[in-house]
């Protein structure tokens, strides 16, 4: 999004995708039950509008609030999560939609101006990226609630063909770039990144071997069938605590099929478990336990990034430009392809699906890089530092305009409602 025309196109696309995830829901579906992993869809809409208004229109335009007195409703760090469900506090559907449309109309007017200064360009890019984060959370909310799949999903057509690629990639030791640079280009809309990716640095990586593919449902089923959830020896202390608290015996959204086999719930449909598709909705503890059971281990964040970007530090596994057709992104295939699909999105050394499909667990705690400096939104990263794990690569629900190989996402290790999966390394 290096020009204001590109920003405008992405804003319009983001708006259409957001509305498509909300407008087809009935009033009763919009009145969602409380769940700690999701937000009410109408709150998501109002919060996205508030972000544009607060950081772009008010910051630069010195304008008054469009909904006076409602900052404490729409600001995610003012209103407690559970309070977003209070009917006597939250604006109704018509009021929320009116607020959203008025704000986006004003943003469009700013983008139709003759030119944008670097600060305004950066703020607009930031706000669009933020809204795309909430597109992903709306998609996983529909999965959590068992609502119909998003209209963007294309898996009514045959899944993409398999490539037959298997095995491990041997990654040479050496010095590899991590993260994104901090320079004046960021404010001009080039090399856009969030504060948790900066400042970039180089680090020494020892030689290692990493799987070319994500772990599949077939592979994880072998762990389930072997009693992996009942085998204390493969679970760490944290994993045993999580297992005791949650009590799972198989991945979330799996169930035994009558007679034989397994089924998977994908949104509102139960389907036969697609054995060659990536296993999704796993906690860090499940990924860790499987790895120990298989005689493998999870990669570190830096190993993952070295495998994805190479010694040159490319933005994407395939090069420097985003091409959403090379990966399972934008809520289209939703994890329906095999783990060896999309060879056109592989790294030059043959690692598949390192962008899209599944957020990949790494062993790293989510911590700031040396020299970290808070960006315009102080809570984008800081509240997650320390007790979250770092995931990499984006998922099938991640927007293509948002993701890159340096992107870092933080999730609590026990979460499995989001689109998380993993790949393993040799010990």
Please indicate, yes or no, whether residues 167 and 130 belong to a single structural domain of this protein: no
Across the chain, mean pLDDT equals 94
**Of the residues 99, 121, 145, the one at which a domain ends:** 145
Q: Which residue has the higher pLDDT, 163 or 378?
A: 163
54 secondary structure, DSSP code: I
Hey, how many other C-beta atoms are within 10 angstroms of the C-beta on 183?
13
Rounded Cα distance between 317 and 405, Å, is: 7
Same domain for 121 and 241, yes or no, is no
pLDDT in tens, 103-147: 999 999 989 887 888 888 889 999 999 999 999 999 999 999 999
Q: Which residues contact 237 (CB under 8 A, 6 or more apart)?
A: none
228: CATH = 3.90.1580.10
Same domain for 283 and 166, yes or no, is yes
Does 184 have pLDDT greater than 90?
Answer: no
Residue 131 sits in the same domain as residue 163: no
For residue range 6-64, what is the model confidence (pLDDT) as tens digits? 999 999 999 999 999 999 999 999 999 999 999 999 999 999 999 999 999 997 777 78
Contacts of residue 420, Cβ cutoff 8 Å, sequence gap at least 6: 280, 281, 282, 283, 284, 287, 358, 359, 360, 361, 391, 395, 411
- Number of domains within the chain: 2
Task: Reply yes or no on whether the pLDDT at 211 is more than 90.
Answer: yes
Domain identity same for 140 and 258: no
Cβ contacts of 355 within 8 Å, gap of 6 or more: 308, 316, 317, 326, 327, 329, 345, 393, 394, 403, 404, 405
Longest dimension (CA), the chain: 66
Band of pLDDT at residue 187, cut at 50, 70 and 90: very low
Same domain, 94 and 216: no
pLDDT of residue 379: 81
Q: What are phi and psi of 214, to 5 degrees?
A: -65, 160
Helix residue ranges per DSSP H, 162-283: 217-225, 237-246
Q: Is 137 exposed, middle or buried (0-12, 13-18, 19+ CB in 10 A)?
A: middle
- Specify the pLDDT at position 75: 93
Percent of the chain with pLDDT over 70: 97
Residue 347, pLDDT score: 97
Q: Is the pLDDT of residue 151 over 50?
A: yes
pLDDT band for 188, please (50, 70, 90 cuts).
very low
Single out the residue in 100, 116, 145 at which a domain terminates: 145
pLDDT at 186 over 50: no
158 shares a domain with 140? no
Beta 359-365 vs 254-256: how paired, if at all?
A: unpaired
Are 303 and 210 in contact, with CB atoms under 8 Å apart? yes
pLDDT attached to residue 242:
98
Contact yes or no for 323/356 (Cβ under 8 A):
no
Specify whether 126 is located in the same domain as 159. no
Q: Domain limits at 19?
A: 4-145
387-415 pLDDT, tens digit per residue, is 999 999 999 999 999 999 999 999 999 99
| Contact criterion met (CB below 8 Å) for 304 and 358 | no
Residues 81, 57 share a domain: yes
Pairing assessment for the beta strands 359-365 and 420-421 based on DSSP bridges = parallel
Please provide the size of the chain in residues: 427
Asked if residue 103 and residue 176 are part of one domain, the reply reads no
Question: Which CATH number belongs to the domain containing residue 45 in this structure?
Answer: 1.20.120
- Among 83-87, 295-299, 379-383, the least confident range: 379-383
pTM for the full predicted model: 0.96
> How does pLDDT run across 262-281, given as a tens digit for each residue?
999 999 999 999 999 999 99
CA proximity to 422, closest of 301, 341, 326:
301
- Domain boundary pick from 145, 170, 198: 145
Same domain, 192 and 120: no
- pLDDT tens across 310-362, in order? 999 999 999 999 999 999 999 999 999 999 999 999 999 999 999 999 999 99
Is a pLDDT exceeding 80 seen at residue 301?
A: yes
CB atoms within 10 A of CB 381: 21
**pLDDT the model gives residue 64:** 85
Does residue 209 share a domain with residue 79? no
């Amino acid at each position: 999004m290096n020009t204001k025309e590109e920003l405008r196109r992405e804003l319009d696309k983001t708006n259409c995708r957001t509305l498509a995830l909300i407008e087809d829901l009935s009033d009763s579906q919009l009145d969602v039950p409380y769940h700690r992993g999701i937000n009410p869809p109408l709150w998501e809409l109002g919060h996205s509008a508030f972000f544009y208004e607060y950081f772009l229109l008010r910051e630069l335009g010195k304008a008054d609030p469009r909904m006076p007195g409602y900052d404490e409703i729409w600001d995610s760090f003012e209103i407690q999560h559970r309070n977003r469900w209070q009917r006597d506090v939250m604006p109704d559907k018509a009021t929320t939609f009116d607020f959203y449309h008025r704000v986006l109309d004003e943003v469009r007017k700013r983008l139709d101006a003759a030119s944008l200064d670097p600060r305004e360009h950066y703020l607009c890019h930031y706000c669009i990226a933020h809204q795309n984060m909430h597109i992903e959370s709306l998609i996983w909310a529909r999965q959590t609630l068992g609502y119909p799949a998003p209209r963007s999903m294309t898996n009514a057509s045959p899944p993409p063909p398999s490539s037959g690629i298997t095995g491990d990639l041997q990654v040479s030791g050496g010095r590899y770039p991590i993260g994104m640079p901090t320079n004046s280009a960021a404010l001009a809309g080039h090399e856009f990144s969030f504060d948790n990716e900066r400042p970039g640095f180089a680090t020494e990586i020892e030689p290692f071997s990493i799987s070319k593919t994500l772990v599949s449902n077939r592979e994880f089923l072998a762990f389930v069938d072997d009693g992996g959830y009942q085998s204390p020896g493969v679970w760490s202390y944290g994993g045993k605590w999580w297992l005791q608290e949650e009590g799972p015996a198989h991945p979330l959204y799996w169930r035994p099929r009558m007679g034989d086999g397994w089924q998977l719930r994908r949104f509102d449909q139960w389907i036969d478990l697609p054995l060659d598709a990536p296993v999704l909705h796993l906690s860090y503890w499940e990924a860790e336990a499987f790895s120990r059971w298989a005689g493998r281990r999870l990669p570190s964040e830096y190993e993952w990034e070295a495998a994805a970007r190479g010694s040159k530090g490319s933005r994407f596994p395939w090069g420097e430009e985003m091409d959403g057709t090379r990966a399972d992104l934008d809520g289209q295939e939703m994890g329906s392809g095999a783990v060896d699909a999309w060879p056109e999105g592989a790294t030059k050394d043959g690692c598949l699906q390192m962008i899209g499909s599944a957020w990949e667990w790494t062993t790293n705690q989510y911590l700031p890089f040396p020299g970290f400096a808070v960006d315009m939104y102080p809570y984008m990263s800081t509240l997650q530092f320390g007790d979250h794990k770092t995931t990499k690569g984006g998922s099938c629900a991640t927007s293509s305009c948002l993701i890159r190989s340096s992107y870092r996402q933080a999730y609590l290790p026990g979460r499995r409602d989001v689109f998380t999966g993993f790949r393993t390394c040799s010990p």
